[in-house]
Structure 1
Amino acid sequence: MGAICARNPILGRKTSMTTVQASEPATDTRYKTQRLMSTVGAGILMMLMSVGIGFGFTVQVGMERFGVGATQYSIWMSAFQLSCALSYSAIGALARRFPVRNIVIVAGLLATASMTGMAFAPTFLWLSIGAVFFGIGFAGCGIVTANALISQWHTHGRTGTVFGFVASGVGVGGFVWGLIFPPVVSSGGFTGTMLLIALIVFICSVVNALVLVRSAPATPLILTPEPAGHRNQRKAALAGLGVVVALLVASSFIFALEGGWPLVMAAVLQSNGISLTTAGLMISLWALVAIVAKPILGHISDRVGMLPLFILLAIIFIVSLPGMALFGHLGEWVYFVLIPVVSLAMGVNGVVLPLVVLRSVGRSAFPQVYGFTLTAVSLAVAISLPLWGLSRDLTGSYNAAMICAGFAGVAGLALLYVARSVGRKKSAPTDEDDLSGAYVGASKSE
């Protein structure tokens, strides 16, 4: 039996709501079915996170359509990414107040309409304006809402494994989009490619939410007075939440400086003398490994704990991109060996970060705080992309950026572990329950 606090509208003062567990919902067949449906739906939402691969295919045809250069054409992509970054926190806050299913439907409709308009944009200015609205909608039908679903439905000890399997949807999507976009670009040009993206967004968000996504059932509640000792524990937990959130956001920003790698991967490989065909094979390998890498990370966190996982990830960050920078001249085999290792490193955002946030701030605060961290991640990626290009301009290669990105990942991981440690101490009285008003105390021992 657990308990959470609420303001009694009749008495006008704080009381507590004690959960009644007359029967275990997880044993109910209907509950299990809806949980499975929502989990699959969350995986499909994660597939959308890689649909941006289609943006790269529009560069050449888009430059020809609007008569602009590559640098100017990338402006609308930056507008999209910054719009996402500024929207994640708001989406996280909405996910605490409204059903995730409703958010996905509304956001999906906005994203679909915006991308459809962008497909027929008469000028580059209108394309960029449409990208802003597309970013707002895209933020509401992707990683925040997907992980909010998982945190609501999966309250068992295998949450990390579930996070991992759902996050692998990014790799599945990347593999599929890489196969279907090239022929569409060849036959449909800019407009056809953008309409395909709009169709993908509509199916993976609106149709997915209508068919699969369900809201987790609420637990029955009974109002009882809140003991003074529990009230003090709750206030102490709240007092430390701001510090934890600041540490989570800072660490997310630092290790996400490596996050520009998927967007520049093809350019990096070709700049090192690798043919376009071989580079395509390496990118496909990266996407395929990403499918299994994220479940592996989640399983490790569940089985052996976070500390061994963090040590493993630190080694991965040091070996992956810096290793390619230092030893890539030995041959293509170095890239084939290390690109799967990079896929493991890229799993931090989709698996490790949400797990740490969940275990640091509790389930109720998770969507909003996770939105804050994703905002930091998106801003870091937006800032890092010009730095990757600057590395090429100043040194003639991307090696310097690859080395710096690897060690930035290690620094971010170290700070993330500090955030987790502080979060566990601050939320110890609540044991990962709702920090906005949860307490357990004696009820845990009943």
Structure 2
Amino acid sequence: MEAREAVTVAPVTDRTPDTAAAGWRTAVASALGLACGPSVLTVMAFGAFIKPLDREFGWGVPAITLAASFLSITIMVISPVQGLLVDRFGGRRLILCSSPFFGLSLMAMYFLPDSLPLFYLAWIIIPLAGLGLWPVSYLRLTAGWFERKLGFALGIANSGIGVGTVIVPILTAVLIASFGWRVAFLGLGALALLAFPVAYFLLAEPSPGHTGVRAGGDTLKRAATKRPFWLVLAAFVLLGAIGSTIVVHQIPLLQDAGLTENVATLVPVALGVALIVARIATGWLLDRITVAVVMSLYLIGGTVSVLLFAAGPNVWTALLAAALAGLLIGAEFDVLSYLIPRYFGRLAFGTIYGIAFAAFQVGGAIAAAAVGVSRDAYGSYTPAMLTLSVVCLACVGLFLSLGPYRYDSSHS
């Protein structure tokens, strides 16, 4: 009974070709913005700077990588804040305000002195400077234009992170090799500034009266009284644990299994390509199949992936495991940005997304550290990978427990 209260959206009767074009333009612009946003330029590019910084300053790899923890903690803290601001002021305004500060914060790393405390402070300031550029700003904008093709539109927007994940680490490595790490930070900062013209000329803030998309829904307080809210948070804690463990530990795991360093570092390319495919394919599937079924399929693939990793993969099984993991990781935020309008409506989209994103970061931070401890204790990644297979199946159970959509577009 409860699952059917306020279940339908207003008929899409006033959607014109102009509004449709604005919606698709916003989806493509969101992909461009996310490809040069902080999700890529900080999280995915960080690893390329570890060895150059160690060579210049002699800080040691553990001390340098500790900055990544400061980055993750800052992301976790600011995600709900960004969500609240997006719901209050709109995504486009936040993107325009944040883009110059984020680009300049990366460029400022050119002047980094030999000081670990300043280095750590920088990785707190950089994600703060990019407050409005994390995915929820773009995804809320895109979601506001679509009802029937919501999944596909969100998939296009999210694909930008996948493309950036493949291209930016390569670009960063080339810049470092050719000009040094300081100039590489200047290059990344210049790339970040591209988000401003993209947002100014291409992004459009949706107006519900002109798009035919229902803008109402649950407040955060009301959503938190519903079982799906807590199921989603629990699921994204577990998804964070799965995805972060694979991304962080994949290369050393493959080296433990006997693969050479050159081969081990190439295997993640399969993950990156699968991630891009999953961004688009998941969006298309979500318009046709329920969230529960889509995520169950990906999580079964994730179970196979971690079991292959547990068995000590060879080159071919490692490629298969990486591809299956990439499909799961690529699907996660397509699913999150789709299920919020379906289960809670659009009213508190940014706030709910930010809280779930923070939960994801918590799961990832805990699991990545715990798996490292497990590897040292047992001398192998096998126990941790077997545990992750159980986590995948538990996550299937959480998604299957969500029940029917509360804000269903099937009658629009």
Q: Normalised by the size of structure 1, how large is the TM-score? A: 0.80
Question: What letter corresponds to residue 216 of structure 1 in structure 2?
Answer: P
Query: Against the structure 1 CA distance between its residues 74 and 106, is the aligned structure 2 distance closer, same or farther, given a 3 Å change threshold?
Result: same
CA–CA distance in structure 2, aligned partners of residues 267 and 56 of structure 1: 14
Asked if 2 retains the 8 angstrom alpha-carbon contact of 1:293 and 1:344, the reply is yes
* 2:136 matches 1:151: no
CA–CA distance in structure 2, aligned partners of residues 207 and 275 of structure 1: 43
Partner of 2:336: 353
Higher-Rg structure is: 1
Partner of 1:285: 270
Name the stretch that deviates more: 67-76 or 296-305. 296-305
Asked if 2 retains the 8 angstrom alpha-carbon contact of 1:391 and 1:401, the reply is yes
CA–CA distance in structure 2, aligned partners of residues 25 and 281 of structure 1: 50
Query: Against the structure 1 CA distance between its residues 267 and 101, is the aligned structure 2 distance closer, same or farther, given a 3 Å change threshold?
Result: same
Shift of 1:175: 1.7
* 2:68 matches 1:83: no
Query: Against the structure 1 CA distance between its residues 94 and 69, is the aligned structure 2 distance closer, same or farther, given a 3 Å change threshold?
Result: same
Please give the secondary structure, in 2, of the residue aligned with 1:215. coil
Question: What letter corresponds to residue 63 of structure 2 in structure 1?
Answer: Q
Partner of 1:40: 28
- Equivalent positions of 1:290-305 (< 5 A) are 290-305=275-290
Partner of 1:257: 241
Question: What letter corresponds to residue 206 of structure 2 in structure 1?
Answer: A
Partner of 1:438: none
Kindly provide the CA deviation profile for residues 350-372 of structure 1, in whole angstroms up to 9, marking residues without a partner as x.
21222222211111121110110
Query: Against the structure 1 CA distance between its residues 273 and 50, is the aligned structure 2 distance closer, same or farther, given a 3 Å change threshold?
Result: farther
CA–CA distance in structure 2, aligned partners of residues 318 and 234 of structure 1: 34
Partner of 1:201: 192
CA–CA distance in structure 2, aligned partners of residues 262 and 352 of structure 1: 19
Asked if 1 retains the 8 angstrom alpha-carbon contact of 2:275 and 2:331, the reply is no
Kindly provide the CA deviation profile for residues 150-187 of structure 1, in whole angstroms up to 9, marking residues without a partner as x.
211112x2212222232222221122123322221112
Shift of 1:432: 5.5
- Bigger strand share: 1
Kindly provide the CA deviation profile for residues 275-304 of structure 1, in whole angstroms up to 9, marking residues without a partner as x.
233233322222122111222222222223
Question: What letter corresponds to residue 32 of structure 1 in structure 2?
Answer: A
Query: Against the structure 1 CA distance between its residues 161 and 407, is the aligned structure 2 distance closer, same or farther, given a 3 Å change threshold?
Result: farther
* 2:232 matches 1:248: yes
CA–CA distance in structure 2, aligned partners of residues 35 and 195 of structure 1: 33
Partner of 1:213: 203
Asked if 2 retains the 8 angstrom alpha-carbon contact of 1:255 and 1:413, the reply is no
* 2:134 matches 1:142: yes
Kindly provide the CA deviation profile for residues 178-209 of structure 1, in whole angstroms up to 9, marking residues without a partner as x.
33222211123221222222222222x22321
Please give the secondary structure, in 1, of the residue aligned with 2:193. helix
Asked if 1 retains the 8 angstrom alpha-carbon contact of 2:162 and 2:330, the reply is no
Shift of 1:139: 4.4
Query: Against the structure 1 CA distance between its residues 286 and 239, is the aligned structure 2 distance closer, same or farther, given a 3 Å change threshold?
Result: closer
CA–CA distance in structure 2, aligned partners of residues 139 and 320 of structure 1: 34
Shift of 1:60: 0.6
Question: What letter corresponds to residue 249 of structure 1 in structure 2?
Answer: L
Partner of 1:343: 326
CA–CA distance in structure 2, aligned partners of residues 265 and 346 of structure 1: 13
Asked if 2 retains the 8 angstrom alpha-carbon contact of 1:164 and 1:298, the reply is yes
1:125 to 104, 114, 117: 117
Query: Against the structure 1 CA distance between its residues 383 and 110, is the aligned structure 2 distance closer, same or farther, given a 3 Å change threshold?
Result: farther
Asked if 2 retains the 8 angstrom alpha-carbon contact of 1:358 and 1:366, the reply is yes
- Equivalent positions of 1:43-442 (< 5 A) are 43-47=31-35, 48=37, 49-51=39-41, 52-122=43-113, 123-155=115-147, 157-203=148-194, 205-219=195-209, 238=222, 241=225, 243-260=227-244, 261-328=246-313, 331-418=314-401, 420-421=402-403, 424=405, 428=406, 431=407
Structure 1 runs (4+) greater than 4 angstroms displaced: none
Asked if 2 retains the 8 angstrom alpha-carbon contact of 1:110 and 1:133, the reply is no
CA–CA distance in structure 1, aligned partners of residues 408 and 225 of structure 2: 12
Unaligned runs of 5+ in 1: 1-18, 221-232, 434-443
Question: What letter corresponds to residue 40 of structure 1 in structure 2?
Answer: V
Query: Against the structure 1 CA distance between its residues 207 and 410, is the aligned structure 2 distance closer, same or farther, given a 3 Å change threshold?
Result: farther
Please give the secondary structure, in 1, of the residue aligned with 2:209. coil
Kindly provide the CA deviation profile for residues 361-411 of structure 1, in whole angstroms up to 9, marking residues without a partner as x.
111121110110001111221222212321221222323222322322332
Query: Against the structure 1 CA distance between its residues 388 and 77, is the aligned structure 2 distance closer, same or farther, given a 3 Å change threshold?
Result: same
Please give the secondary structure, in 1, of the residue aligned with 2:293. helix
Q: CA RMSD in A?
A: 2.8
CA–CA distance in structure 2, aligned partners of residues 344 and 393 of structure 1: 29
CA–CA distance in structure 2, aligned partners of residues 333 and 374 of structure 1: 33
Asked if 1 retains the 8 angstrom alpha-carbon contact of 2:296 and 2:396, the reply is no
Asked if 1 retains the 8 angstrom alpha-carbon contact of 2:27 and 2:154, the reply is no
Query: Against the structure 1 CA distance between its residues 87 and 287, is the aligned structure 2 distance closer, same or farther, given a 3 Å change threshold?
Result: same
Question: What letter corresponds to residue 355 of structure 1 in structure 2?
Answer: Y
Shift of 1:240: 6.0
Kindly provide the CA deviation profile for residues 83-115 of structure 1, in whole angstroms up to 9, marking residues without a partner as x.
111111111111111121110122222322222
Count how many residue pairs are aligned between Structure 1 and Structure 2. Answer: 392
Asked if 2 retains the 8 angstrom alpha-carbon contact of 1:118 and 1:126, the reply is no
Asked if 1 retains the 8 angstrom alpha-carbon contact of 2:30 and 2:203, the reply is yes
Unaligned runs of 5+ in 2: 1-8, 211-216
Shift of 1:72: 1.0
Query: Against the structure 1 CA distance between its residues 241 and 188, is the aligned structure 2 distance closer, same or farther, given a 3 Å change threshold?
Result: farther
Asked if 1 retains the 8 angstrom alpha-carbon contact of 2:218 and 2:345, the reply is no
Asked if 1 retains the 8 angstrom alpha-carbon contact of 2:143 and 2:153, the reply is no
Asked if 2 retains the 8 angstrom alpha-carbon contact of 1:112 and 1:201, the reply is yes
Q: Normalised by the size of structure 2, how large is the TM-score? A: 0.86
